[in-house]
Chain A
C-alpha cells in the first residue's frame, strides 16, 4: 500500500524517525524555554552547554573510565553547576537591562566555550559508543529501529513531562513563576528569589547537558555540535511561544514530524522548513503558538 507515493512501511518508518528527532528537539528546547520563560534571558549559550554535556560524558569515559550510566547523572549536574557559575558571574548583572544584552552576552560565552574546546580537542570529533545495554536494534516490521533511539524518546518524554509538571503544577513551580513576575513581592514572603533564579538557570543548563549526553552516542562529540543546532532550537522555542514550556515540547515534536516528512518528499528544504514555519506562525500568532501576549 502506498501513501503519498511511497510504500507504507517506509512512510511509517519516516514518521517514527521524525518522532524520535522531535523528542530530541523537545528536550533541547525545554531548557531554553525554561530559561526564557522564567528568567527572560535568551540563552544563546544553550548550544555550547549541550556540547559541554556531550564532552563531559566523553571525558568521564576517556579519562575516568565512567560509563554512560554515570555520565547520564553526572554530566547534567556538572553542566548545571557551570550554568550556576555563569549566572552568578555574568547574567545577574543584566536583569535590569534590555534583554538583548543577555542575548549578546550568552552569544559571547558560546564563542568562548566553543573556541576553547576547539583548541583543546580539534574539530574531527570524538567517538562515544552506545552503551551495551542499549545497543542493537528491534525489528518493528516496517523498519528496524535501533534500541538506543527508542531510549532517547523515552527519556525525552519523561523529562519533558516531568519538567512541565514541576513548573505548572507544584508549589516550587508556582514560586518560580511568581518570582519572575514580581520578585520583590515574592521575596517579602520569605522566598529567596535570587537563589531560585540561579538554580533555574542551572537547571536549564543541566537540561542542555542531559541532551548532550543523550546525543553523544548518536553524533560525533565535536565542539561544533552546538552551533549547528542552536538556531533550529531557537526557532522551535519561538514558534512554540517563548514563555511556554508546553509550547516548545509540542513544537519540538511537531517539527520533528514535519522535518521527517520534508526529508522524504523534498529533502533539500528540510533544513529551512523550520524557519519557514517560524515566519508563518509569527505572522499569524505574534507570540507563538502557545505564547502569552505581553
Chain B
C-alpha cells in the first residue's frame, strides 16, 4: 500500500530525485503505471534512468544504461539539484518528527550513539533544494518521534517560518507516506497532520504508532485500495530487484 500510495503522488512528467529502497520502488511503479514520463534522477549522476528492473543500489548498471545522460557526482549536485531544477525529492527516514525533520545519522547522542546509521548522503541538499519533498517511511513509535535525535535533513525545523528564515527555496516535505496512511503539513502550523488512512487501518492504530499527539484532518479520507494493475506491476518489479530478470 505504501509503495502504491507513494507512486500515485507522483504526477506524470515530474522530475524526481530518487533515493534507493522504497522511493526507488515507488518511482518505478509510477513510471510503469500512470506516469510514463516521470524523469528519474539518481545521485550517482544518471539523469532520466528508465530501468526495466528494480536496482539494488543507486549505481546499478541498468540506471546508467537506460539514462538520457550520465554526469559526474559534482555535476548532479551543483548543476541539477542546487539551482532548483528538480520537482520532487524522494527520501526515506530512520526517524521523522512532527515538523517532518528527518534523521538518518544516529540514534542517541552523536558522540556516543546507540545506533550509528549511514548518515546524510544526498539528503540534506535534496530536502533543501527540491521544489518539494516526499517522504516514504514505515510508521511506528521508534520512527515517528516528537523530536528527532539529529536533524540530518530539515523539514520545517521548529515550526512556521523556519525554512524561510534560513533562505531555503524549496517548499519542504509536502507528503509523508507510511504503511498506515498519508500525512501532510498543516498550512498554518507546519505540523504533520493525518489526511489519509489506508484501508483496513483504524485511527487508534495510527495514533499508537505516532510518538506525539497526532493531529488528524477534519477531512480524513480513506486511501483508495491498490488496483489489480498496480499490484501486478508492483509484484513484477519486486521480483526483479537487484537485476534479477
Co-complex (A, B): no
